């Protein structure tokens, strides 16, 4: 028996949904309506999707998030989908700003220690706010694009994420207001949203402006946010939704939170997942720019 390891190269429908962000029902409907994706069936008749189909579905999801309709794109070949996304997201192929290109080289090469020194050096040179807003934020988006185009390994993405989390937490720890007073702001992401870098960037900027912020981190149920806000007499709740979150998920949860929180508590929501929320959820401040929240520190 040779000890060759067999890698599973197909995904069942649950894994395909997780990997692409496209729901099981939608996958079945497209199969019937557009003839794509056409999964094979295992001996139990269950659908199994190839990695090629999953990659094509990821591009379709990104284009749908950018406003395209399924009938326009589901039957298109991968190369056409890639070209369309590149036209929509200039980052994909254009020349990166020199500093970001320098950082991306270290990330792609997985030079973790050098990356750590390089990030600390940039922090010293730029100062906290420009470091977060002009370097870390665009670099995070570039890491996402490169990951989608398989120009960056999952390991490299995780090395970058771990470094950024470590460095921003160190800045927060160093700058957290020392005087004992109640936190004013509560930060969290909701269940299903593991992406917390956006939240950490927001917390870093606010704490460095002397704002007392209590961050509950990722995947916090709405009810728990409401209970904690009451307990600490919180003035504002800040939420982050990455591109991973469907508009329905964002809208439903923001409406639920608005219903359950006293009107005196402000709700701010940001992140790529809050873009194109039409109409704007009532009683919620939507902002995609980190610079915007600095006013909360004034």
Q: Beta-carbon neighbour count of residue 132 at 10 Å?
A: 23
Q: Around 173, how many Cα atoms within 13 Å sit in the side-chain half-sphere?
A: 6
Q: Is 269 exposed, middle or buried (0-12, 13-18, 19+ CB in 10 A)?
A: buried
Closest approach of Cβ 2 to ligand B12, in Å? 30
Residue 108 vs 141, nearer CB to ligand B12: 141
- Strands across the sheet containing 236-240: 213-215, 185-188, 236-240, 266-270, 285-286
Q: Around 31, how many Cα atoms within 13 Å sit in the side-chain half-sphere?
A: 17
Closest approach of Cβ 196 to ligand B12, in Å? 4
Residue 35 vs 127, nearer CB to ligand B12: 127
Closest approach of Cβ 19 to ligand B12, in Å? 4
- Name the one residue in this structure whose structure tokens are 């950024």: 164
**The tokens of 171 are what?**
């800045």
Residue 118 vs 241, nearer CB to ligand B12: 241
Residue 185 to residue 297: CA distance in whole angstroms: 10
Residue 19 vs 129, nearer CB to ligand B12: 19
Phi, psi of 109 (to 5 degrees): -80, 0
Closest approach of Cβ 124 to ligand B12, in Å? 21
Residue 137 vs 255, nearer CB to ligand B12: 137
Closest approach of Cβ 42 to ligand B12, in Å? 21
Residue 226 vs 238, nearer CB to ligand B12: 238
Residue 293 to residue 298: CA distance in whole angstroms: 10
Residue 37 vs 271, nearer CB to ligand B12: 271
Closest approach of Cβ 33 to ligand B12, in Å? 22
Give the chain's end-to-end CA distance (angstroms, integer). Answer: 69
Tell me which residues touch ligand B12 (CB under 6 A).
19, 21, 61-62, 65, 137, 140-141, 143-145, 147-148, 157-158, 161, 192-198, 201-202, 238, 240, 242-244, 268-272, 287-288, 290, 292-293
Closest approach of Cβ 85 to ligand B12, in Å? 9
Angle, vertex CA 204, rays to CA 184 and CA 103, nearest 5? 165
Beta strands in the chain (DSSP E): 10-12, 40-41, 47-50, 185-188, 213-215, 236-240, 266-270, 285-286
């Amino acid at each position: 028996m040779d000890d060759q390891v067999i890698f599973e190269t197909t995904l069942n429908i649950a894994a395909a949904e997780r990997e692409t962000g496209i729901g099981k029902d939608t996958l079945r409907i497209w199969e019937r309506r557009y003839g794509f994706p056409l999964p094979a069936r295992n001996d139990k008749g269950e659908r199994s999707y190839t990695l090629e189909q999953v990659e094509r579905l990821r591009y379709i999801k990104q284009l749908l998030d950018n406003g395209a309709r399924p009938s326009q794109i589901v039957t298109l070949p991968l190369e056409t989908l890639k070209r369309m996304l590149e036209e929509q997201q200039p980052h994909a192929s254009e020349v990166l700003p020199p500093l970001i290109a320098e950082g991306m080289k270290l990330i792609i090469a997985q030079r973790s220690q050098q990356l750590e020194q390089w990030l600390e050096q940039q922090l010293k040179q730029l100062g906290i706010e420009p470091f977060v807003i002009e370097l870390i934020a665009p670099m995070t988006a570039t890491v996402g694009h490169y990951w989608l185009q398989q120009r960056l390994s999952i390991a490299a993405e995780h090395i970058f994420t771990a470094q950024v989390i470590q460095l921003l937490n160190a800045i927060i720890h160093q700058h957290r207001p020392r005087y004992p007073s109640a936190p004013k702001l509560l930060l969290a992401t909701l269940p299903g949203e593991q992406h917390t870098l956006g939240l950490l960037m927001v917390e870093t900027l606010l704490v460095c402006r002397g704002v007392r912020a209590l961050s509950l981190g990722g995947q916090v149920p709405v009810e728990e946010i409401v209970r904690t806000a009451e307990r600490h007499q919180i003035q504002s709740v800040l939420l982050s939704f990455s591109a991973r979150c469907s508009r329905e998920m964002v809208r439903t949860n923001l409406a639920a939170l608005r219903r359950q929180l006293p009107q005196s508590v402000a709700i701010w929501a940001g992140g790529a997942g809050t873009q194109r929320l039409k109409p704007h959820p009532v009683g919620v401040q939507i902002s995609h720019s980190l610079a915007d929240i600095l006013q909360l520190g004034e």
